[in-house]
DNA sequence: GGAAATGTGACAACCGCTGCCATTTCGCAT
DNA sequence: ATGCGAAATGGCAGCGGTTGTCACATTTCC
């Protein structure tokens, strides 16, 4: 926790972290619907009203974790050399992005598991992905020197590469996040890059 | 409305249709959050309690329209010749599926527009797509004679082809659903089929 | 130290949604 | 036609998520 910040900032960060942890723990133990906001705040000495000052909704406690990741993904893409072909650049960005997932394996797996069994959370997560897709499409359009509103190509590349990435993550999580994510991501994106009826994706 | 069915069935279908229409109209006029369930039932001489016997949630009135479409999509894929390559079969299925969208242009556009500006609805719609993806993956696995749980390929093809389709729909809807959807879908899926950094998608 | 900004708690209210039970309506056999 | 069982409905009470409001406490800054 940044010690330079004032007391106020530090306190806020602490409560936020406490709330997130308490919520995540109870959600996974008891289930999302079975855990009320009062249950969550009860473990943190905070009023229900304050909970909603930190999070827009109960779901946001879970999803909030993914909030900043979209920006990182776009930055990774923006950092690729300009002469790289668009999809190849996206693939490289996702390969690095996979490492971020790997680092936070526990959180990613916990949230994914939660999303798997809780429709509203799953829906929210998908919506978050859709926002990433927007960011990706915009950055790809910039890189391709085209208008993302009229030219469908950047959006298509964004959507398809993200789908390939998500599919890899899904498999990784289903396996308990044991192996390495990056190679799975790479394999999926290369398969798409080369045309799906041409290539054989390793079936392991 | 099927006249063979008893009075009961006909009545139910009628109420359901009325509720859907009233809801959709008010949602688009006044906004989703600004329209309460009481507003909806007020236009149909139905009690709020009964509304929730027809729909699981307020959102379901909007999304319900897409409920049966997933099954149709899977059937279209199942109807493709068995020797067709998997992605090519998916492409063909989506091309036909596009015609179903085109037939119901008004509904599709209205719901999409609503989804665009109403996060919870957008999320639900994405979740519905995710279910379609499951169905597609299963059917592709059957066709490829492989296990959808261990072999990532059918899921990858399902996810990617669906993403390409959805992107085409998005463009079509953004244009007011004026042109033909099927060619857009075909172009997107062919682009993916051939490898995204190789082909040029027509930028119109 | 004190004023101004900021975070918090308590209360009330709205709305989506559900369980429950009484009432009405329909389908069907007689 | 009639009456009986099944199915649909309405009304009510209640839970839980979410928001507005206002008074109070705490931190920041001068």
Spacing of C-alpha A35 from chain mean position: 23
- Identify the residue whose Cα has the smallest distance to the C1' of D16: A36
Residues of A within 8 A of B193 (CB-CB) are: 195-197
- The domain made up of B63-194 has a fold known as Tetracycline Repressor; domain 2 (1.10.357)
The pLDDT of residue B1 is above 50 = no
Say what the pLDDT of residue B202 is: 52
Say what the pLDDT of residue A201 is: 53
Partner-chain contact B192 A156, CB within 8 Å: yes
Reported as a single tens digit per residue, the pLDDT across A120-150 is 999 999 999 999 999 999 999 999 999 999 9
Reported as a single tens digit per residue, the pLDDT across A1-58 is 455 567 788 999 999 999 999 999 999 999 999 999 999 999 999 999 999 999 999 9
The pLDDT of residue A81 is above 60 = yes
Partner-chain contact B167 A188, CB within 8 Å: no
Count CB neighbours of A135 within 10 A. Answer: 16
Partner-chain contact A193 B192, CB within 8 Å: no
Percent pLDDT > 70 in chain B is 95
Reported as a single tens digit per residue, the pLDDT across B69-89 is 999 999 999 999 999 999 999
Provide DSSP, B52-64. Answer: HHH-SSHHHHHHG
Report the residue of chain B nearest A151, measured CA to CA.
B203
Interface test with B, best of A160, A188, A193 (most B CBs within 10 A): A160
- Identify the residue whose Cα has the smallest distance to the C1' of D7: B8
Say what the pLDDT of residue B3 is: 53
* Structure tokens belonging to residue B126: 């994405």
- Identify the residue whose Cα has the smallest distance to the C1' of C9: A47
Chain B contact present for A146, CB below 8 A: yes
The enclosing H or E element of B39 equals helix B37-42
Say what the pLDDT of residue B5 is: 63
Domain with CATH 1.10.357.10 in chain A: 63-194
Say what the pLDDT of residue B204 is: 44
Domain with CATH 1.10.10.60 in chain A: 7-55
Say what the pLDDT of residue A19 is: 97
Say what the pLDDT of residue A200 is: 56
Partner-chain contact A87 B184, CB within 8 Å: no
Say what the pLDDT of residue A25 is: 96
Partner-chain contact B155 A170, CB within 8 Å: yes
Reported as a single tens digit per residue, the pLDDT across A140-179 is 999 999 999 999 999 999 999 999 999 999 999 999 999 9
Q: Which CATH superfamily is domain B7-55 in?
A: Homeodomain-like (1.10.10.60)
Place of tokens 């190849």: A88
Chain A contact present for B196, CB below 8 A: yes
Per-residue three-class SS string for A119-180: HHHHHHHHHHHHHHHHHHHHHHHHHHCCCCCCCHHHHHHHHHHHHHHHHHHHHHHHCCCCCC
3-state DSSP call for residue B35? coil
Reported as a single tens digit per residue, the pLDDT across A91-119 is 999 999 999 999 999 999 999 999 999 99
Say what the pLDDT of residue A102 is: 97
Non-local CB neighbours of A21 within 8 Å, separated by 6+ positions: none
Q: Is the CB of A194 under 7 A from strand D?
A: no
**Range of weakest confidence among A53-62, A178-187, B172-181, B192-201:** B192-201
**Burial category of B72 from C-beta neighbours within 10 Å (exposed 0-12, middle 13-18, buried 19 and up):** middle
Reported as a single tens digit per residue, the pLDDT across B126-170 is 999 999 999 999 999 999 999 999 999 999 999 999 999 999 999
Say what the pLDDT of residue B197 is: 83
The pLDDT of residue B6 is above 80 = no
Say what the pLDDT of residue B200 is: 55
CB nearest B163 (choices: A122, A159, A204): A159
Place of tokens 């999809």: A87
CB nearest B152 (choices: A126, A163, A167): A167
Chain B contact present for A154, CB below 8 A: no
- Interfacial B residues in 65-124 facing A (CB < 8 Å): 85-88, 119-120, 122-124
Say what the pLDDT of residue B126 is: 97
Nearest nucleotide relative to A11: CA against C1' = C7
- Length B2 CA → C29 C1' (Å): 25
Partner-chain contact B160 A130, CB within 8 Å: no
Reported as a single tens digit per residue, the pLDDT across B166-186 is 999 999 999 999 999 999 999
């Amino acid at each position: 926790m940044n010690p330079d910040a004032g007391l106020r900032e530090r306190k806020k960060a602490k409560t936020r972290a406490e709330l997130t942890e308490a919520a995540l723990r109870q959600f996974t133990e008891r289930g999302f619907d079975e855990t009320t906001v009062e249950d969550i705040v009860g473990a943190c000495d905070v009023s229900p009203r304050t909970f909603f000052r930190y999070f827009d909704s109960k779901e946001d406690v879970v999803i909030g974790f993914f909030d900043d990741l979209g920006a990182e993904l776009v930055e990774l893409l923006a950092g690729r050399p300009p002469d790289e072909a668009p999809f190849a650049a996206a693939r490289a960005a996702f390969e690095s992005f996979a490492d971020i997932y790997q680092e936070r394996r526990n959180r990613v797996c916990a949230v994914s598991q939660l999303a798997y069994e809780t429709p509203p959370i799953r829906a929210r997560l998908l919506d978050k992905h859709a926002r990433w897709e927007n960011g990706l499409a915009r950055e790809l359009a910039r890189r391709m020197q085209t208008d993302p509103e009229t030219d469908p190509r950047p959006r298509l590349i964004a959507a398809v590469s993200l789908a390939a990435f998500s599919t890899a993550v899904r498999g990784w999580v289903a396996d308990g996040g044991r192996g390495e994510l990056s190679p799975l991501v790479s394999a999926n994106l290369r398969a798409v890059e080369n045309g799906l009826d041409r290539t054989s994706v390793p079936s392991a």
